[in-house]
């Protein structure tokens, strides 16, 4: 049986619009009123048809894991009430005499940690965010790990975190 051949003739304006829509992946018809502006291209999101998928939740840097080779302190041993809002509250140890915390730094800021006090019951660590320039600054935010060395083993002493911004 011979193949059936169909030829469709389009006026040149419609042919151009059809080719433009086909090239952009658009499938919508012009809106009422005769505008031939094509629909914007569809961007694949990875969601199934109907959009029922939820995007992955990014890791919250304020609820982080300690660096490799360290052990997170239990939250019951850490008092972070003296930290400014937005500062990470996780504390860890690297051996018996090193306490670590995350600082908060960025384009025109740096972070440091200072050992403020050591008593038989508590160790106080101050996390400082210092502005290093008036700008222009990039807007990235980093959480560098910072560590201080104690004079004696931490043991069961409480770790008190304070913080300030300059």
pLDDT band at 61; cut points 50, 70, 90: low
Neighbouring CB atoms inside 10 A of 156's CB total 7
Q: Which pLDDT value is given to residue 157?
A: 98
Is the pTM here over 0.85, yes or no? no
Dihedral of the alpha carbons of 100, 85, 75, 102, in degrees to the nearest 10: -20
Q: Which pLDDT value is given to residue 52?
A: 53
**Cβ proximity of 109 and 60 under 8 Å:** no
β strands within the chain, DSSP E: 71-72, 78-82, 91-93, 98-102, 105-106, 109-118, 122-131, 141-142, 145-149, 158-165
Structure confidence by residue, pLDDT tens digits, 69-111: 999 999 999 999 999 998 999 999 999 999 999 999 988 999 9
The rounded distance, in Å, linking the Cα atoms of 119 and 98 is: 15
The structural domains of the chain, with segments of one domain joined by +, span: 8-51, 71-165
Interior angle at CA 164, CA 98 and CA 111, nearest 5: 55
């Amino acid at each position: 049986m011979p193949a059936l051949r169909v030829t469709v003739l389009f006026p040149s304006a419609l042919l151009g619009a059809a080719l433009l829509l086909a090239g952009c992946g658009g499938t919508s018809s012009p809106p009422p009123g005769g505008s031939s502006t094509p629909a914007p291209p569809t961007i694949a999101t990875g969601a199934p048809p109907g959009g029922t998928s939820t995007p992955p939740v990014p890791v919250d840097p304020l609820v982080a894991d300690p660096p490799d080779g360290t052990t997170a302190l239990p939250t019951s041993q850490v008092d972070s009430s003296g930290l400014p809002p937005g500062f990470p509250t996780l504390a860890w140890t690297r051996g018996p005499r090193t306490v670590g915390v995350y600082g908060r730094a960025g384009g025109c800021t740096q972070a440091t940690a200072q050992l403020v006090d050591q008593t038989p019951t508590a160790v106080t660590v101050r996390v400082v965010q210092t502005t290093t320039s008036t700008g222009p600054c990039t807007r990235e935010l980093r959480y560098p790990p910072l560590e201080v060395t104690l004079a004696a083993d931490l043991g069961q002493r409480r770790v008190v975190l304070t913080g300030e911004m300059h």
